[in-house]
Structure 1
Amino acid sequence: MTATATRSVPPLVLISGPEAVIADRALSTTLEELRASAPDLEVIRLAAETYEAGALGMHASPSLFGGDKCIVVQDLDEAPDELQEDLLAFLAAPDPDVTLVVTHKSGQRGKKVLDTLKKSQARVLEAPAIKSDRDKTDFAMHEFRAAGRRATPDAVRALIEAIGKDVRELASACQQLVADTTGTIDEDLVAKYHGGKVEASGFKVADAAVAGNAGEALRLLRHAIATGVDPVPIVAVLAQQLRQLVKVGAAGRGRSADVARDLGMAPWQVDKARRGLSGWGPEGLAEAIQAVANADFEVKGGGRDPVYAVERAVLTITRARSGR
């Protein structure tokens, strides 16, 4: 009996979206499903960047020894015309013993192939971008739930602050915590594994500055600079936190989850901003935001001393709180 008679994966699979971590997992899961019914599955990978005309047809043709194949065409969004034409020819007369998996990050290139795949009842696996802190919070929470573990909102917040923008590193950090710890994952556990990264980031600097603690903000700033953190992302975090104060303050009352959804934030960010608003007035926020805008100009080439520019912004922010 061939795998085509028993497999759960349809002959056509489309992995659509720019998030590489999710796309890679979708591909791995698809190949695992195929191998469950065809242990000797032959996997052929074709990259759009190096594709040569006719290669798809050559690999899709029956081999002398038979058996099932999976052809993975990567990055249709970068595909030359030859690859798109070969894909359309294959889709017009697909081989039942060949599973075709196509990945497409975004954009209009390859649209005719995409439309044909969907009309041909391809399984579509989404890999949406993970950009905002709310997206990253949902992603991390899902990672822990999928592993059968509970993580507190403060733990997830601390982990995101430690890791930064890299979603692949965030996934790895979640897996490490699951593998190396037991019980509920809380902020103390995250601090044990990643506390140095948090302290050396702009987030702790911003927290102290927004709270009006000049001495602590300057200490953390100097520590961050000494450990190699560039002034530019520190200023970006200061700006982000001040903008969040303004947005949450203007949103008024309401459930954190509802406000977060409306503002494109994570609920923990709304709660944090509400706590941070104490001691801030409109004039102070305006002064602080202007100071950060000036610092942003200077650290990006407009000033002579980027570190001094950030220090001056931090001191202005702490003075602006409560009009001190």
Structure 2
Amino acid sequence: MRAPTGRGPGEHGSAQSVFGTVTLVQGPEALLAQRAVARLLNAARAEHPEVQISELEARAISPADLLEATGGSLFTPYCAVVVHGLPGASVEVGDAIVQFATEPASDVCLILDHPGGAKGRGVVDKLRKRKAHVVPATGPKAWELPSFVIAEARRAGVDMDQHAAQALVDAVGSDLRELAGAVSQLASDWAGTRLTVDMISRYFVGRAETSSFAVSDEVLAGHAGRALERLRWAMSCGVPPVLVTSALASGLRALGKYVDHRSSRMSDVELSRAVGVPPWKLKTLARQARSWDSAAVAAGIIAVARADAEVKGAATDPDFALEKLLLTLDAARMSQHG
């Protein structure tokens, strides 16, 4: 590997230069990791349009390959090197990366992609000790997804409120790539407008209406008949039964936490964090909690766990198991009034 120049990161250009740096993009959320890598590469191109860019797989390279990639070319001394899958690096490659990070060459931007987990932790710890830049690529919590959607909408040039964002999450799910793609499509079709719940419901008809979360919301609200209608429609459209039990488990957990904490002297923000939902959803939980107590929620969680096992193979008819579950949940809800 070439000898370092002795200049620290950015000293050959602005203080914000990406050259002369080693950046570790660490976390399991692939979309955020890819965006972080893209931002760094775009910054490298902006500084030096002639930069040579190389993308390598850690498991498939040797120290010599790394040396060659960071060595520049006949046409430019500047290079940006992305090493994907850092946990797959051999001991020799890991040592070479750590050695480079000790004093990075001032015309190299080295980007390391680590999806998280224990594998490769030794190299990560050594890189941190050598002051490598760390960019987290960890996805938002479930209650933070609407905020992610709103930020995506702003990036795409449209606007939406928390209710519309939650409607999109309910329709599409929690996968960030799918959410980003849905926002992009909406922004393309309704450029410059404010997206509403009705617009999203119309756009995703067949997804929002058959959403497992819609089934959960109806049964927790005490609308057993509507919940059964939603469930039967969802099953006819091919919604996997495990998504329904998952949504019900999530809804009951949030409701149980709300019931446990509602008498505490907490602000809405503190309560939403304790429950694990966005603040605006506390009103929904407050309405649901009028018909549920702790014992009913506990009975519901047990019923959902049993049904989850049934739809995963313990029963011969998953659809019947889910219908029976909705009736059992409604009976649990009514039991506190008995």
Could you state the TM-score of these two structures normalised by the residue count of structure 1?
A: 0.89
Moved more, 206-215 or 3-12: 3-12
Matched residues in 1 for 2:281 and 2:311: separation?
Answer: 26
1:97 corresponds in structure 2 to 107
1:187 corresponds in structure 2 to 197
Unaligned runs of 5+ in 2: 1-10
1:307 corresponds in structure 2 to 319
2:331 corresponds in structure 1 to 319
Structure 1 residues 32-43: aligned runs within 5 Å: 32-43=42-53
1:207 lines up with 2:210 in the alignment? no
2:13 corresponds in structure 1 to 5
**Counterpart amino acid of 1:317?**
L
User: Shift of residue 81 of structure 1?
Assistant: 1.2
1:279 corresponds in structure 2 to 291
Which residue of 137, 145, 154 maps to 1:136?
145
Matched residues in 1 for 2:181 and 2:42: separation?
Answer: 20
Matched residues in 2 for 1:27 and 1:264: separation?
Answer: 30
Matched residues in 1 for 2:327 and 2:222: separation?
Answer: 9
Greater helix content: 1
User: Shift of residue 116 of structure 1?
Assistant: 4.4
| Percent pairwise identity | 35
Once the two structures are superposed, residues 159-178 of structure 1 have per-residue CA deviations (whole angstroms, 9 ceiling, x without a partner) of 11111131111112222333
Q: Decide whether aligned partners of structure 1 residues 300 and 145 sit closer, same or farther in structure 2, where only a CA change above 3 A counts.
A: same
Matched residues in 1 for 2:161 and 2:321: separation?
Answer: 36
Specify the SS of the correspondent of 1:234: helix
Q: Decide whether aligned partners of structure 1 residues 247 and 81 sit closer, same or farther in structure 2, where only a CA change above 3 A counts.
A: same
Unaligned runs of 5+ in 1: none
* Number of residue pairs the alignment of both structures matches: 322
Structure 1 residues 65-144: aligned runs within 5 Å: 65-92=75-102, 94-130=104-140, 132-144=141-153
Could you state the TM-score of these two structures normalised by the residue count of structure 2?
A: 0.86
Matched residues in 1 for 2:79 and 2:271: separation?
Answer: 49
User: Shift of residue 63 of structure 1?
Assistant: 2.4
Specify the SS of the correspondent of 1:39: coil
1:220 corresponds in structure 2 to 230
**Contact 2:212–2:234 under 8 Å retained in 1:** yes
Once the two structures are superposed, residues 40-83 of structure 1 have per-residue CA deviations (whole angstroms, 9 ceiling, x without a partner) of 22111111232234210122224233331111111212322122
**Counterpart amino acid of 1:142?**
A
1:174 lines up with 2:186 in the alignment? no
Specify the SS of the correspondent of 2:310: helix
1:31 corresponds in structure 2 to 41
User: Shift of residue 108 of structure 1?
Assistant: 4.1
Q: Decide whether aligned partners of structure 1 residues 4 and 189 sit closer, same or farther in structure 2, where only a CA change above 3 A counts.
A: farther
**Contact 1:208–1:217 under 8 Å retained in 2:** yes
User: Shift of residue 92 of structure 1?
Assistant: 4.2
**Contact 2:221–2:287 under 8 Å retained in 1:** no
Once the two structures are superposed, residues 125-182 of structure 1 have per-residue CA deviations (whole angstroms, 9 ceiling, x without a partner) of 221233x321322322332344564322111111111111311111122223333323
Matched residues in 1 for 2:234 and 2:203: separation?
Answer: 18
Specify the SS of the correspondent of 1:45: strand
Pairwise CA RMSD of aligned residues? 2.5
2:67 corresponds in structure 1 to 57
1:267 corresponds in structure 2 to 279
